[in-house]
Amino acid sequence: MITIEKYVEIRERFGHFSSWAIWADDGKNPKDNIDDMSVLNPDSNPSLLGTLHGNSILLGLNISRIIERPYGNFHDSRPTATDFKIRYALRGTPLWGSYMTDVIKDFEEKTSGRLMSFLRSNEDFEQNNIQKLREEIECLGFSNPVLVTFEKDAEKITRRNLCKEFIFVGIPHYANYFSKENYREKVCGMLPNIQEAVSELRISATRGLKPRGSLS
């Protein structure tokens, strides 16, 4: 659960590249209502704050275009966008309501290879973004969240920078070429690993230990 004060703070500080794993119901077509932001309005959705959480944080790599509306990331209705697969895959799972953000902030690039090449030549830029991510997670205020990364590039950056601080689990990217049904099957197949990570975090917390590593 998120308080209204925390919800507003995160929206004001990070809303131009973050969001939450909650969407309006689809309609006749799979992409219908994917950009309906009323579901992320506490005034029009009284159950919203009780659904949102930071037990798990879903991490993309970077934005492919400028996000024009607060919390609009991962809620893209463009014909070429595949955000609707995330909605289909996560509904009814423990990941529904998770916080969502990107590892690299404010870097508009559609081709991940170009971004990864840029990072290899600009280590300070990567470190600055990792520090921003740490601050974002700290602001969220949940102890020991599981970091769930979309695809290999986000996982690589997470692994080399945060594996000593957090447990993370990699899931396939929603833009991969398979149906929404197959995507849900693949994501749900990873849920036992995510639940194992959550259990490990709880055990470590009771023992006063800091969990490290990844599960895949």
Q: What is the pLDDT of residues 136-170, one digit of tens each?
A: 999 999 888 999 999 889 999 998 999 888 888 89
**Domain coverage including residue 25:** 4-215
Residue 90 contacts residue 21 (beta carbons within 8 Å) = yes
Number of residues written out for the chain: 216
Predicted local confidence at residue 66, as pLDDT: 82
Predicted local confidence at residue 121, as pLDDT: 92
Give me the average pLDDT of each 10-residue run along the chain (216 residues). Answer: 95 94 92 95 95 94 86 91 95 95 89 91 94 94 90 90 88 91 93 73 56 52
CA distance 137 to 52: 14
Predicted local confidence at residue 144, as pLDDT: 84
Predicted local confidence at residue 161, as pLDDT: 93
User: What is the average pLDDT score of the chain?
Assistant: 89
Which three-class secondary structure string do you get for the chain?
A: CCCHHHHHHHHHHHCCCCEECCCCCCCCCCCCCCCCHHHHCCCCCCCHHHHCEEEEEEEECCCCCCCCCCCCCCCCCCCCCCCHHHHHHHCCCCCCCEEEEECCCCCCCCCHHHHHHHHHHCHHHHHHHHHHHHHHHHHHCCCCCEEEEEHHHHHHHHHHHHCCCCEEEEECCCCCCCCHHHHHHHHHHHHHHHHHHHHHHHHHHHHCCCCCEEEC
Cα-Cα end-to-end distance for the chain: 27
Predicted local confidence at residue 203, as pLDDT: 57
Predicted local confidence at residue 65, as pLDDT: 81
Q: Provide the number of structural domains found in the chain.
A: 1
Predicted local confidence at residue 90, as pLDDT: 96
CATH number at residue 206: 3.40.470
Predicted local confidence at residue 82, as pLDDT: 93
